[in-house]
Structure 1
């Protein structure tokens, strides 16, 4: 049939093969996502690239970020409870942070939990600044989310944050949360901390968690991979040059010699399943790919999702862009799979983006 005239051509059309539907992270970025990317590239990146690497400026940045976090709208689907445990009764380390719980979650002992370690270059941010992610995790998975307020550099260089992360994991275990129901998660520097905690658990023989989720992890604090990638990447937010300046404060006088910093050289044999989500446009992408390869070489499972055209920790925009919302649903699917949790009942929601 000639589609222009409607007449038969006498030719039998060949059968067509339907193209495979691309995975969510492989799809073309939406217009909204591209606009945000462009605005950050020209409005935020120049500032981030010139962040000075000294304590005074970072303390000012810390106060500014915390003030901005107060303006973030709350999520009515969750409850946020402060956690302050001096550790006197249990004989453990003190813990401060917050407990984010879905309002629809049943009462009673937790069958599992997500231990979330926030990003911020190890120098800024807090549990409050990352509520857009932690609230969404709690709502989508039905699991409570523990977000510790770990110590920050330069006042408390590495390994102080790792010590606090280990204490938070032990806190969950001491309260009867089964390790088979715990997922460790984190973004950016918190992604490095989540991976370092996972490696430390394997190394010290603590019970393995069910899995680990890393959003845009800062894998290599020496920044060798990201500085090389900066020449070609169009990262709208993260500057590898600035990250290297900050990293010197994070490691302190001990430098980069602590083996717990070197995630690519960690013995990943016996590690739990890992999900890594990284933006295709970000300068940390080569680091995430290298970590996924290291885990796979050690015989572990690592699901690497490179989200086409997305920026650093784009999951923070899960109430703004379709890609971020979909990425959080993919994360919830992974969490349910590794914890063998039943899927949450579907509810009618307003589409985003």
Structure 2
């Protein structure tokens, strides 16, 4: 199955280049795989009722973290990658930990991906996202660094952004040129990846080569999700849950301007790939962000995968759509890195 690909304004669809002229509207009519339908149904009836009640209080968050970390023990990484633990020293503060996924054979030495995991800014870790990060490393032939950034409510924003910025600076200090670094993330990590890229592009730091966002959580006011909720059958996210989490992330009544991605100045950002499931409540947010990026002059491609759920890429071992989405991502990363190299040459 191919994604419905849209560039620019949400309603302006273009055909996928691999489709050889097949109209994008026809792609939207294709049915999801059997595996996708089974997983979506299982999550809707097994996980959504539990997720809808989170977070109620600090104890529920700790319980959720414990459960997610326990489940992550059962998650392996791609067999063609190896794992290295990283601890970045910081003056007057605890080191920033993280994981570096490296291809076992012939890794690219002068480029890397900085990946920021999702989890609503309150749960998950580099370990929980190894199905994505190790697959990304294997497919791209690149090191993928996943920092263990601080989580809310103990560490509200901008603590995660500060940690992400430290991770980017560490890659620069390790010898990776900025124009050979791609910043990526999913869900809340997609929000963090976009906030980080915006922060970099409006600072004295050199700009990265590109940005990849999987099912990004764009609007922390959750207004767009609330408008969309009656029309979709999201497998496990509800606007009510997202609003409760957002209050923990901000830690204050007034929204930090860096959190409001739709109000940011997106001029001079590198090329962007956004992938979103057609059946998730965050789809309108991805569409609106793609529109904002394009209006600012950014080279942005939005892929809408029909029938897919939030963060479906994490199921790349069992979903054919997820495997293809990861392959699409690898092609995008290779293209932006090659373009930067050619421009320098």
Task: Confirm or deny a common fold (TM above 0.5).
Answer: yes
**Corresponding pairs, count:** 320
C-alpha distance 25-204 of structure 1, shift in aligned 2 (>3 A) = farther
C-alpha distance 79-270 of structure 1, shift in aligned 2 (>3 A) = same
TM-score (norm 2): 0.88
TM-score (norm 1): 0.86
Find the counterpart in structure 1 of residue 342 from structure 2.
none
Find the counterpart in structure 2 of residue 6 from structure 1.
none
Partner Cα distance (2:151, 2:182) in 1: 23
What is the alpha-carbon root mean square deviation over aligned residues? 2.1
Deviation at 1:256, TM superposition (A): 4.0
Find the counterpart in structure 1 of residue 54 from structure 2.
51
Alignment of 1:256-267 (within 5 A): 256-267=254-265
Find the counterpart in structure 2 of residue 205 from structure 1.
204
Alignment of 1:235-314 (within 5 A): 235-252=234-251, 254-314=252-312
Equivalent residue for 1:60, pick from 51, 59, 63: 63
Find the counterpart in structure 1 of residue 154 from structure 2.
155
Structure 1 gaps of 5+ residues are 1-17, 342-353
C-alpha distance 256-315 of structure 1, shift in aligned 2 (>3 A) = farther
Partner Cα distance (2:216, 2:147) in 1: 18
Partner Cα distance (1:125, 1:49) in 2: 17
Partner Cα distance (2:135, 2:34) in 1: 23
Deviations 1:278-310 (A, max 9, x none): 000000000000000000110111100010010
Alignment of 1:1-353 (within 5 A): 20-21=21-22, 26=28, 27-87=30-90, 94-106=95-107, 110-252=109-251, 254-340=252-338
C-alpha distance 283-102 of structure 1, shift in aligned 2 (>3 A) = same
Partner Cα distance (1:59, 1:278) in 2: 29
Partner Cα distance (1:233, 1:240) in 2: 12
Find the counterpart in structure 1 of residue 9 from structure 2.
none
Partner Cα distance (1:65, 1:218) in 2: 20
Whether contact under 8 Å (1:316, 1:324) holds in the other structure is yes
Which secondary structure does the structure 1 equivalent of 2:98 belong to?
strand
Which secondary structure does the structure 2 equivalent of 1:230 belong to?
helix
Deviations 1:13-45 (A, max 9, x none): xxxxx9944669744311211121122122221
Whether contact under 8 Å (1:222, 1:256) holds in the other structure is no
Deviation at 1:74, TM superposition (A): 3.4
C-alpha distance 199-22 of structure 1, shift in aligned 2 (>3 A) = same
Partner Cα distance (2:76, 2:175) in 1: 33
